[in-house]
Structure 1
């Protein structure tokens, strides 16, 4: 799909990987809506790229529907959706005293990362499906975000790995479901990236993580994630696939 002139939505677009995607789309001429739970940050990024900033929790259907109405009012229905919003967290299933981990922590991560992804997919796809197809027959493209933890979950990452594994597992059936509507679906599974969350870690820890990447032996840059996202949007034959972006990293148990 040609990016220039299209309406695009980026969830989690106020920082990190999402912000990089929002800026890259705008640089290619898309009309970008930045959606994030942090309204102020979403508006800041949107103002910098000439877009619109919107606030919503991706698990809140009413709020997300209202935000999609805002996208339509500003730019028209989004044909390009980059779903980057998500949360992390790690906790061993049993504590040092043998007590079980609280179920609420597992529910929260799966709720945001997996159920939130499905919520974004179903609500945006319904609007895309009502659009007239482009000359290629395509109506839209949805790119979701998983993680290498979907394949190489580390100790204490049961909730995170399960949530991202769920995103990977539903990529193909979503693409099959939406094929008759001319909507493509793909997922990116990033490894270790230099994001604001990573930068909260002590420098020696960041260096050790970077050294664990086979090649190039460094953290990924958000712009590299954005480059892949834009390629998926442009490449009309890329559908139903999850692409690892990790410098050949395979995570160790800890």
Structure 2
């Protein structure tokens, strides 16, 4: 798919994986719309890339619909990348053996899983009406899971459940949207050098990197972004979850 002049919407696009992806897409000629929270660096990022900023909470259907409309105004919407998410640790039982607040679990699932579904649904409604290419392609949706979907650690039941849900819905979404010429692919990153991890002390970052078989380091956000471009380019990739993790398999803790 040629994305030069096409519209691209990236949630969580003001930082981390989303920011790296927005930069790569803009460099490839896409007209980028950054979707992030109002207090984020979204306006500055959009200005840097010559794109648009659409403030939105990914769990809000009306706000996401407005963001999708903003992206589609700039150019035919062909690419959607879901990077918005949170990863707060929380065990089932606290230190006193009491259940952790259910609201904490619900919040993670709501943002990571329901938020991703909300963006897919709102975007698909617009992409399905976009004029197809000569090959019948209308667009690509790339979602973000995590290796925690398969190797969830102690303290990650909510995060693992939310990302496992993203991986599980990939195939049914791809099957449903196939009739419209819209592909759906998910990336499951390993330990990536995101702002959250970069806030850790350097010895802690080095220790995490050494757990990766090869290359023995943290993954770079731009490596995620480059995989997004490969997915867009390869029209036969559909309905799959791709691990991007240096062959790591996470230990229990």
TM bin (shorter chain): over 0.9
SS at match of 1:79: strand
Cα distance change of structure 1 residues 40 and 108 upon mapping to structure 2, 3 Å threshold: closer
* Counterpart check, 1:34 vs 2:52: no
Residue 48 of structure 2 is matched in structure 1 by 48
Residues 14 and 38 in structure 1, CA contact (< 8 A), matched pair in contact too: no
- The separation in 1 between residues aligned to 2:39 and 2:77, in whole angstroms, is 19
Residue 81 of structure 1 is matched in structure 2 by 80
Q: Report the CA distance between 1:38 and its aligned residue.
A: 3.7
Residue 174 of structure 1 is matched in structure 2 by 173
SS at match of 2:34: strand
Equivalent positions of 1:119-138 (< 5 A) are 119-138=118-137
Q: Report the CA distance between 1:72 and its aligned residue.
A: 2.4
* Counterpart check, 1:139 vs 2:141: no
Residue 25 of structure 1 is matched in structure 2 by 25
- Count matched residues: 253
- The separation in 1 between residues aligned to 2:166 and 2:78, in whole angstroms, is 20
- The separation in 2 between residues aligned to 1:6 and 1:66, in whole angstroms, is 18
- The separation in 1 between residues aligned to 2:212 and 2:146, in whole angstroms, is 15
RMSD: 0.9
Residues 3 and 78 in structure 2, CA contact (< 8 A), matched pair in contact too: no
SS at match of 1:189: strand
SS at match of 1:251: coil
- The separation in 1 between residues aligned to 2:90 and 2:188, in whole angstroms, is 21
Residues 128 and 140 in structure 1, CA contact (< 8 A), matched pair in contact too: yes
- The separation in 2 between residues aligned to 1:106 and 1:92, in whole angstroms, is 10
Unpaired runs of 5+ residues, structure 1, are: none
Q: Report the CA distance between 1:134 and its aligned residue.
A: 0.5
The 4+ residue runs of structure 1 with deviation greater than 2 A are none
SS at match of 1:178: helix
Q: Report the CA distance between 1:195 and its aligned residue.
A: 1.2
Normalising by structure 1, we get a TM-score of 0.98
Unpaired runs of 5+ residues, structure 2, are: none
Residues 39 and 53 in structure 1, CA contact (< 8 A), matched pair in contact too: no
Equivalent positions of 1:1-254 (< 5 A) are 1-73=1-73, 75-254=74-253
Q: Report the CA distance between 1:40 and its aligned residue.
A: 4.8
- The separation in 2 between residues aligned to 1:253 and 1:78, in whole angstroms, is 41
